[in-house]
Structure 1
């Protein structure tokens, strides 16, 4: 197989792209002849977020029995990629957000992620929004690590235009980023176009001001049109914008055949046989483009848990005639079930055989880690061990992770006690705990505010280590204290929800708070969704209605204080000089909170920020 990626100036129009296509290829790729019965296989992952090790206590429900097992981990994904190597016309792609999420990123700044990715040798990697968390220079550092291998992975982002002289474009716009990859599969050339989420990256990460982010749909169509002019008839979009955005984009584009996506951490496929029921749709999902032709859409969940393998069949007119495939949860064979005392212990040989039989057709599969990838991981794991082992507290019960109460995806799947967390009005237990940590760390704050997307994992019942804390809060934020009126406080809450309901932003903006509670109706128009907003002042045990003209001190991350995730009201307060940087590291604040408490549990029902929730569909949650 031969692959070619552009190193010319990033085109901004179909004509310019067509000119680049014909002028910059050496040797030129010939327009493909019609091929009957072409099949393309696409192996893919997304959003591994520096989760390189397996999830050691992942809980499945097998034959109605809770069963814990080691799940995922990058070396197991590498095994599945290698096992797919004999498939005809295979493409290996990563749909973004490789970095940020565990101590492997904190300590190695992308080096460990790149090393494990290079055990797969991806054909293409699409930038995720979190690739810009440490600005363009941090992304450049990661891409340099990726280049250290022999893979030659193309890094795609058709709608990202770094400024000349900046870290991502020291000499030309395509020094690091390419708009698309052309892949020769036998007699056929396939175009793979990268699309990065625009608003979320600009508002939720830290790209340089000079790095431009273009409209996703317009850029995709312009690039498709230019590739079609150049004779390319099979078009794949590799996106990082979320499952719903992929569905919406498919309907607006002509001549798109496949979309492999990331960003929304969406579980597709049927895993109900092993007790995982929060799927957002079938795998693959089949949509229709603007031409009325099928579009095959795939995504592979999150955190190195899932491997997607999509098969796409075309007719002689290069129209999709079939989408099929499977998503696999790779697991170990260390099955543990409860004994008479309630402790999880290894099952006996007979029960192990029964479990293996139950896994058939379930979506889970026993997979051995790839030895080369395992050796790479071991090189980086050693330096983390001492830090990771230090205990800082105990979770008396599992603190579940939810972004928006009522969301379809259960982000706490596999965590005992969190089986229905996404269906409950209270929302995120762990976000409540983090907000309380902020509030206690501040000497002045009446209220602590936390966005749901800033919390990355739930807290399992049991021991909490430094590693756990830095996985829950993996970023490098500090805490700010702001002075808000009651009116501005409610406006900030409305900003947070309006960010995803009205402005197409990330639902990671959804608010949680300590010292503040409300009733929320997501079916109402903007400005009227929050009611019965009450505050518990610093040093008081009484809940009082928020007074519009009263002044309140709010502690939150610098990210929200400066307007991240659509918190425009907080940004205006900050710009008006009504904020103070406490220089308290937000993760260390959470660590100190856990060390001081010893044991953390879910708060009393009266302390939850969400006192009642009606979904956007009008359903009242329990």
Structure 2
């Protein structure tokens, strides 16, 4: 495992692991090839808390490749998990890197007609030209081991790239699986088969869990999953008849939603489908936080969305928000209303910064994932609901039988405008009428 841009000084057990290194040198024929790893620095916020220090990719890679060059290594591959855009930046800004093999963004690259339904986001390889004119191939091979990356390169004796060719290979039924792998999988096949046969509900609509949809705006699958969190708490608190629930708000970050569900011919949703969507098996937690803290969390979601941090954007239940992403950081939410909990008939009310609100979140968010804070520093009140996120979804599906979640303007994005400009905001038709009046009667 290679990663040049992490510091393990505060994680001694990881630091002692000899299989975790900054770079590796392999030998092919009579040539030595260096492989330098990298990972996106915001992994700190995207994973469960740890003391690992993450550094910026480019300077860390350049520091490591210099060491390899000093050892006489003249062919260097950067292998990483930071996304297609960062891969291309590394190809351009890291002078010693000859090839970039990337991941994380699940980018499908292909030259010519694609062999399956994926739409190519660029040629394979994508060629980036360094400031000195050298060409660097950048490749990714989508996701889910659907394709095998395949790139052939020719170098001269000085480590200069002469030629390259290749194309991802679709791993379809033309390929015979290895017997030993099949035998190993067979040990667990029954469990998977049972999950694939176990129908837990039915959908009459497409459940959109696409990262680009859920990561930038409200998506119907995100709505449904967050609703299932609230429902799980309602079921748990049924014995307390003082209110319909103590947590009317449910939140999940877009990065936790890993797939969509197509209704197909029958609309059947299996347990295996739900596990594919929510593979991390996170515990759900009830937490009680102030209105002020809730507003800060939602502003953080707006800020991350504006930074194109698609995994951090929150999908919500029990909230109605209005955003204006042209406004300054910390001021992008123009309206927040929350579903009341201590009321006989649930309805939406403006969030009171001094009030307190019960919220259901995943363990990832509760523990500070994506930079969020959902534990009240003054009056911490947290309870493990002892139910996994996917089990909450399954429970909701089983008890509601057929679902058809919609987009409901839970997160309404307002039109951009010039803030504090001093000008009146006029409707376009009114402006046209005014201009016509000036031309007709004043000219």
TM-score under structure 1 normalisation? 0.58
Q: CA deviation at 1:548?
A: 3.9
Find the counterpart in structure 1 of residue 192 from structure 2.
384
Q: Does 1:511 align with 2:314?
A: yes
Find the counterpart in structure 1 of residue 70 from structure 2.
229
Q: CA deviation at 1:602?
A: 1.8
CA distance in 2, matches of 1:275, 1:574: 51
CA distance in 2, matches of 1:288, 1:501: 29
Q: CA deviation at 1:161?
A: 4.7
Equivalent residue runs for 1:73-472 within 5 Å? 155-162=1-8, 166-169=12-15, 173-200=16-43, 202-206=44-48, 208-209=50-51, 211-269=52-110, 276=117, 278-289=119-130, 291-315=132-156, 317-332=158-173, 366-405=174-213, 427-442=218-233, 443-461=245-263, 462-472=267-277
Query: What secondary structure does 2:336 align onto?
Result: strand
Q: CA deviation at 1:224?
A: 0.2
CA distance in 2, matches of 1:501, 1:321: 41
Aligned residue-pair number: 400
Q: Deviations over 1:6-30 (max 9, x none)?
A: xxxxxxxxxxxxxxxxxxxxxxxxx
CA distance in 2, matches of 1:403, 1:389: 27
Query: What secondary structure does 2:88 align onto?
Result: helix
CA distance in 2, matches of 1:523, 1:285: 33
Q: Does 1:553 align with 2:396?
A: no
RMSD: 3.1
User: Highest Rg: 1 or 2?
Assistant: 2
CA distance in 1, matches of 2:70, 2:287: 54
CA distance in 1, matches of 2:108, 2:316: 28
Q: CA deviation at 1:394?
A: 1.5
CA distance in 1, matches of 2:129, 2:378: 45
Residues 472 and 165 of structure 1, relative CA distance in 2, 3 Å threshold: closer
CA distance in 2, matches of 1:278, 1:518: 33
Find the counterpart in structure 2 of residue 498 from structure 1.
303
Q: Which runs of 5+ in 2 are unaligned?
A: 234-244, 417-443
Query: What secondary structure does 1:311 align onto?
Result: strand
Q: CA deviation at 1:448?
A: 0.8
Q: Does 1:565 align with 2:370?
A: yes
Find the counterpart in structure 2 of residue 78 from structure 1.
none
Q: Does 1:477 align with 2:282?
A: yes
Q: CA deviation at 1:184?
A: 1.9
CA distance in 1, matches of 2:326, 2:155: 42
Residues 312 and 518 of structure 1, relative CA distance in 2, 3 Å threshold: farther
Residues 555 and 293 of structure 1, relative CA distance in 2, 3 Å threshold: same
Residues 288 and 521 of structure 1, relative CA distance in 2, 3 Å threshold: farther
CA distance in 2, matches of 1:610, 1:324: 46
Q: CA deviation at 1:271?
A: 8.0
CA distance in 1, matches of 2:160, 2:199: 57
Find the counterpart in structure 2 of residue 593 from structure 1.
396
CA distance in 1, matches of 2:192, 2:143: 22
Residues 515 and 540 of structure 1, relative CA distance in 2, 3 Å threshold: farther
CA distance in 2, matches of 1:294, 1:577: 55
Q: CA deviation at 1:308?
A: 1.5
Q: CA deviation at 1:601?
A: 1.7
CA distance in 2, matches of 1:517, 1:168: 43
Does the 8 A contact of 1:309 with 1:326 survive in 2? Answer: yes
TM-score under structure 2 normalisation? 0.79
Find the counterpart in structure 2 of residue 115 from structure 1.
none
Does the 8 A contact of 1:534 with 1:545 survive in 2? Answer: yes
Does the 8 A contact of 1:496 with 1:566 survive in 2? Answer: no
Q: CA deviation at 1:156?
A: 2.0
Query: What secondary structure does 2:66 align onto?
Result: helix
Q: Which runs of 5+ in 1 are unaligned?
A: 1-154, 333-365, 408-424, 616-622
CA distance in 2, matches of 1:453, 1:511: 9
